[in-house]
Amino acid sequence: MTNNLIATRFSTTPLAMVDDETDRVMVYSAELHETLVHVKGRWRIGAFAKSDLKDNFKKVSSAEAWKYLKLAMREVGFL
């Protein structure tokens, strides 16, 4: 499924944040009503602690957010 096909199914752009030091990624999708996180090589449903987000995570572009959402949805089983 391409990013364009996912974009037609979702009306809002996902929010993605990345921690480059630890390779952790968090993606939030309003349509899914879920936060998907990538930690230790696997995607799962969940979220990181607020304290983790303050120092290490940075917001990524919308193109990268769509890429992460596509990967997460495939691994978690939403696609």
pLDDT single digits (tens) 19-75: 888 888 889 888 888 888 888 888 988 877 666 666 678 889 999 999 989 888 888
Query: Would you state the pLDDT for residue 19?
Result: 85
Counting the structural domains of the chain, the total is 1
Q: Give the global pTM.
A: 0.74
Domain span at residue 41 reads 3-76
Query: Would you state the pLDDT for residue 54?
Result: 64
Query: Would you state the pLDDT for residue 63?
Result: 92
Q: What is the chain's Cα-based Rg?
A: 12
Confidence check: pLDDT of 77 > 70: yes
Amino acid at 44: R
